[in-house]
């Protein structure tokens, strides 16, 4: 095993400073057609660039993706922070909020940029405090996500997730000369960084709850072995390297147990491994394939796939009592279960008449109702956003991009970034970590 470099990592800081935050709670009214979307006009900021670092454009994309806003992106800026917008005209156009901004260089520190912005309530013709974000070069997108987070929290009343991260596998040169890279990126795919590169497959990355490590499967030893990888230091350790395949890693939220799929007994079965390496427990004995375990947020249950009855179906097993519940019916293909952070929903892929769709299953209701969020897709690898409002997934028909779908309104949007080659096994990380 070669030695992985350790690198000292200087953390960069962004400061968001404001004198007073007057949080506005907006009730989201349910309309007959679905959820009401908050109408907001966003103007380009004075002085900002018009490339992929354009703050206002990033804020629009962040809000639109959630399905909770109806954003209108103005052609040009009209109002500076502390200015007075044309309330009557904007309200007449059915906008309820207006965001304006101004970008300037910091006179005291030329390396820094200052974004000043202000939110207006067009209905009450009042304004929020003027706020300011200061950032260094290269942090433009993060600064825009901070503004979007503030806006989201101001209008929805819950923290935004626009600074969260995703992990995925990037495969180039498909075929026998393929290269596999394990990458992490901003939630919208920008600022991707490679953690691991290999000529052999890497699959199934999985975040730890604290966002400091990833679990994944690597074939670098010419067979699938599960590793744990510390993001900041690059340190790695083997989690499971038993005879046969070692795959489908999942970790409990208290980090005490791993769940993995092993084929050492022949057919693939789920095992629990204690994080200290002292215990190995088979979850259950099945005559079929059992795989893709996922811990419920309280760690009491494990959802998994089993085809013991002839086709892959989802099951949930209570770890203490051993009680099992079959979760899926009516389709012969149900895979890749992931709990949301409340534990009351599962997302998974189900084959319907029109294709492989991302579904959400309501665990709280008696008959376990399931809802398709996509249509006519080759959907793959769904995972919840940290706030459970969005699901990140892949569509095998367009393998070089990723999608999100908002549970509210089933709004499917591709991420605007693309990779050359193929993106595989995307997974959404936590809202924040010690390093982001």
Partner 1 sequence: MSQSSSFFPLIAIAVLAVSLSSCAQKESFSGLEDTTSSSGSGPKVVQATPQVSPEQETSILANRNVRGNILTERLVFFDYDKSLVRDEFRPMLDAHTELLANNAGVALILQGHADERGSTEYNLALGQRRSDSVREYMLSGGAFTDQIESISYGEERPRALGANEAAWAENRRVEIIYADE
Q: Which neighbouring-strand residues pair with 346?
A: 339, 361
For residues 67 and 423, which CB has a smaller minimum distance to partner 1 in the complex?
423
Does residue 388 belong to the site contacting partner 1 (CB under 8 A)?
A: no
Minimum distance, C-beta of residue 396 to partner 1, in the bound complex (Å): 5
- On whether the CB atoms of residues 209 and 258 are closer than 8 A, the answer is no
Cα separation, 242 vs 23, whole angstroms: 53
Q: Which of residues 80-139 bind partner 1 (CB under 8 A)?
A: 121, 124, 126-128, 138-139
Does residue 284 belong to the site contacting partner 1 (CB under 8 A)?
A: no
**How far from the centroid of its chain's Cα atoms is residue 86's Cα?**
38
Sketch the per residue contact string, 242 through 271, with partner 1: x for CB under 8 A, - otherwise. Answer: --xx-xx------------x-x--xxx---
Rule CB under 8 A: choose which of 63, 231, 273, 314 binds partner 1: 231
Rule CB under 8 A: choose which of 224, 343, 386, 429 binds partner 1: 224
Minimum distance, C-beta of residue 421 to partner 1, in the bound complex (Å): 11
Does residue 20 belong to the site contacting partner 1 (CB under 8 A)?
A: yes
Cα separation, 257 vs 108, whole angstroms: 51
Q: How many residues does the chain have?
A: 436
Minimum distance, C-beta of residue 77 to partner 1, in the bound complex (Å): 22
Does residue 1 belong to the site contacting partner 1 (CB under 8 A)?
A: yes
For residues 220 and 300, which CB has a smaller minimum distance to partner 1 in the complex?
220
Does residue 287 belong to the site contacting partner 1 (CB under 8 A)?
A: no
For residues 67 and 360, which CB has a smaller minimum distance to partner 1 in the complex?
360
Does residue 36 belong to the site contacting partner 1 (CB under 8 A)?
A: no
Question: DSSP per residue over 172-187, as a string?
Answer: ES-STT-EEEEEEEET
Taking phi over 0 as left and psi of -120 to 50 as alpha, with beta for the rest, 33 belongs to alpha
Minimum distance, C-beta of residue 319 to partner 1, in the bound complex (Å): 20
- On whether the CB atoms of residues 65 and 72 are closer than 8 A, the answer is no
Q: How many residues bind partner 1 (CB under 8 A)?
A: 88
Rule CB under 8 A: choose which of 73, 190, 417, 436 binds partner 1: 436
Cα separation, 304 vs 348, whole angstroms: 10
Binding segment (CB under 8 A) for partner 1, from list 37-45, 51-59, 100-108, 288-296 = 288-296
Q: Which of residues 341-370 bind partner 1 (CB under 8 A)?
A: 349, 351, 356
For residues 263 and 408, which CB has a smaller minimum distance to partner 1 in the complex?
263
Tokens of 179: 């290269």
**How far from the centroid of its chain's Cα atoms is residue 108's Cα?**
37
Rule CB under 8 A: choose which of 11, 110, 111, 365 binds partner 1: 11
Q: Which neighbouring-strand residues pair with 403?
A: 393, 414
Does residue 378 belong to the site contacting partner 1 (CB under 8 A)?
A: yes
Within 275-388, strands assigned E span: 280-282, 290-295, 301-306, 313-318, 324-326, 334-339, 345-352, 355-362, 370-372, 379-384
- On whether the CB atoms of residues 65 and 388 are closer than 8 A, the answer is no
Minimum distance, C-beta of residue 320 to partner 1, in the bound complex (Å): 25
Q: Which of residues 163-222 bind partner 1 (CB under 8 A)?
A: 163, 174-176, 178, 191, 193-201, 203-204, 218-222
**How far from the centroid of its chain's Cα atoms is residue 64's Cα?**
15
Binding segment (CB under 8 A) for partner 1, from list 14-22, 85-93, 361-369, 406-414 = 14-22
Closest C-alpha to 123, from 147, 93, 100, 153: 93
Does residue 435 belong to the site contacting partner 1 (CB under 8 A)?
A: yes
Cα separation, 340 vs 387, whole angstroms: 8
CB atoms within 10 A of CB 236: 18
Does residue 7 belong to the site contacting partner 1 (CB under 8 A)?
A: yes
- On whether the CB atoms of residues 141 and 58 are closer than 8 A, the answer is yes
For residues 103 and 225, which CB has a smaller minimum distance to partner 1 in the complex?
225
Q: Which of residues 300-329 bind partner 1 (CB under 8 A)?
A: 305, 311-312
Token pair 């929290």 is found at 153
């Amino acid at each position: 095993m070669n030695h992985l470099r350790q690198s000292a990592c200087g953390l960069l800081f962004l400061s968001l400073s404001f004198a007073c935050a007057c949080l506005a709670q907006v009730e989201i009214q349910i309309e007959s057609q679905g959820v009401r979307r908050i109408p907001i006009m966003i103007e380009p900021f004075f002085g900002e660039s018009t490339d992929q670092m354009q703050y206002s454009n990033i804020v629009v994309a962040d809000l639109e993706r959630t399905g909770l806003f109806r954003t209108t992106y103005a052609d040009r800026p009209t109002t500076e922070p502390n200015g007075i917008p044309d309330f009557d005209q904007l309200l007449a156009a059915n906008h309820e909020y207006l965001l304006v901004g101004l970008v300037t260089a910091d006179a005291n520190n030329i390396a820094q940029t200052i974004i000043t912005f202000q939110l207006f309530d067009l209905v009450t013709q009042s304004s929020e405090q003027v706020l300011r974000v200061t950032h260094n070069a290269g942090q433009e997108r993060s600064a825009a996500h901070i503004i979007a987070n503030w806006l989201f929290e101001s209008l929805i009343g819950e923290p935004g997730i626009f600074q969260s991260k995703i992990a995925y596998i990037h495969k180039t040169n498909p075929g026998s000369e393929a290269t596999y890279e394990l990458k992490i990126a901003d939630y919208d795919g920008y600022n991707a960084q490679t953690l691991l590169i290999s000529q052999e497959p890497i699959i199934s990355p999985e975040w730890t709850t604290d966002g400091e490590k990833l679990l994944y499967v690597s074939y670098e030893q010419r067979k699938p072995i599960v590793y744990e990888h510390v993001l900041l230091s690059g340190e790695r350790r083997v989690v499971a390297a038993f005879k046969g395949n070692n795959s489908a890693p999942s970790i409990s939220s208290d980090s005490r147990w791993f769940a993995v799929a092993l084929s050492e007994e022949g057919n693939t079965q789920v095992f629990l491994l204690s994080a200290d390496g002292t215990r190995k427990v088979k979850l259950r004995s099945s005559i079929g394939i059992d795989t893709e375990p996922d811990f419920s947020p309280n760690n009491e249950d494990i959802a998994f796939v089993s085809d013991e009855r002839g086709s892959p179906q989802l099951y949930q097993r209570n770890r203490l009592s051993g009680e099992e519940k079959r979760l899926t019916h009516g389709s012969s293909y149900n895979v890749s279960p992931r709990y949301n952070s409340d534990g009351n929903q599962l997302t998974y892929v189900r084959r319907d008449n029109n294709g492989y769709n991302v579904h959400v299953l309501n665990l709280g209701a008696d008959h376990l109702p399931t809802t398709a969020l996509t249509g006519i897709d080759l959907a793959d690898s769904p995972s919840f956003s940290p706030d459970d409002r969005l699901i990140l997934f892949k569509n095998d028909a367009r393998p070089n991009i990723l999608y999100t779908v908002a549970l509210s309104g089933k709004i499917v949007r591709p991420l605007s970034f693309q990779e050359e080659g193929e993106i595989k096994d995307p997974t959404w990380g936590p809202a924040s970590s010690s390093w982001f």
